[in-house]
Amino acid sequence: MRFWLVTGAALLALAVTAALGRWQLGRAAEKEALQAQIDAQGLLPVLDARSLEGVADTRALLHRRTEAAGRWVSERTVFLDNRQMNGRPGFFVLTPLRLEDSAAVVMVQRGWVPRNFEDRTRVPSLDTPMGPVRVQGRIVPAPSKLYELGDAGTGAIRQNLDLAQFRAETGLALVGVSIQQTGASGDGLARDWPQINAGVDKHYGYAFQWFGLSALIALLYVWFQIVRRYKRPQA
């Protein structure tokens, strides 16, 4: 009776671990397709940011290179707190850009600056031109949200920024995506943005662990329930 109980438990464990391994391989295939799509978007011609105006579904334009001409709405600059670049804590600096010859405004992720730890309410001074500027970058979603307690606030320093809420708060005609600025940094902001990675290797690693556990269960079962059970004692 004990033999059959152990056998049933081993078969169940093998089925579960093998299924989880196959599921992780499926997730890896999905992420590979996503990464290929992201890479393909980055190879498309540079898009005029004015094309974002009036687009109902801007997700189709994500990760494309873009160029935007306009003027900074510097008084609406936002500093996202607790953001890191190269392992250093500081602010992500976001400033709306009113597009040239357009009613649209796009939020630009301009770069990163360290924060003042002696006075945490102090924001750094920025070199923000008052006249026309031309910004190069790529179309991305709004910065990822961090966990926050209570209201996100309406000041210059914030934990997160929701574009829809910011649009209602400021009355700016913000489009539904942002631009992550790239290129040379002559304004003192760091732009060493992390490379976009769909995380394919993570799923292959998990799949290897599940299949490895499945193989270990099979080996242990064979050794303890078959080999040792029927192995003749040495003379």
Where does the pLDDT of residue 143 fall: very low under 50, low under 70, confident under 90, or very high at 90 and above?
confident
CA distance readout (Å), 209 to 101, 203, 229, 233: 55, 10, 29, 35
CA distance readout (Å), 133 to 95, 108, 141: 13, 12, 22
Q: In this predicted model, what pLDDT tens digit does every residue of 26-40 receive, in sequence order?
A: 999 998 998 888 888
232: three-class secondary structure by DSSP: coil
Q: In this predicted model, what pLDDT tens digit does every residue of 194-232 receive, in sequence order?
A: 887 778 889 999 999 999 999 999 999 888 888 877 765
CA angle, residues 139, 200, 37, in degrees to nearest 5: 35
CA distance readout (Å), 183 to 9, 48, 191, 197: 58, 16, 8, 20
185 vs 75: which has the higher pLDDT = 75
Q: Examine the pLDDT at 67 and tell me if it is beyond 60.
A: yes
Place of tokens 């299924």: 19
CA distance 171 to 34: 35
What is the pLDDT at residue 151? 53
CA distance 13 to 7: 10
Where does the pLDDT of residue 58 fall: very low under 50, low under 70, confident under 90, or very high at 90 and above?
confident
What is the pLDDT at residue 152? 55
Helix (H) or strand (E) holding 88: strand 88-99
Q: Examine the pLDDT at 150 and tell me if it is beyond 70.
A: no
67 vs 103: which has the higher pLDDT = 67
180 near 83, Cβ under 8 Å? no
What is the pLDDT at residue 50? 87
Strand partners, 99: 70
Phi, psi values for residue 168, rounded to 5°: -70, -35
What is the pLDDT at residue 181? 94
Q: What does the chain come to in residues?
A: 235
Residue 81 has, within 13 A of its CA and on its CB side, a CA count of 15
AA letter at 90? G
Range from 11-25, 51-65, 73-87 carrying the lowest mean pLDDT: 51-65
Q: In this predicted model, what pLDDT tens digit does every residue of 157-174 receive, in sequence order?
A: 998 999 889 999 999 999
Q: 10 Å Cβ neighbour count for 205?
A: 12
DSSP 8-state assignment for residue 190? B
What is the pLDDT at residue 101? 87
CA distance 82 to 188: 19
Q: In this predicted model, what pLDDT tens digit does every residue of 173-189 receive, in sequence order?
A: 999 889 999 977 677 89
Question: What number is the average pLDDT over the span 92-115?
Answer: 92
What is the pLDDT at residue 59? 74
Prediction pTM value? 0.77
Query: What is the dihedral angle through the alpha carbons of 204, 205, 206, 211, rounded to the nearest 10 degrees?
Result: 80
Q: In this predicted model, what pLDDT tens digit does every residue of 112-132 receive, in sequence order?
A: 998 877 777 788 888 888 899
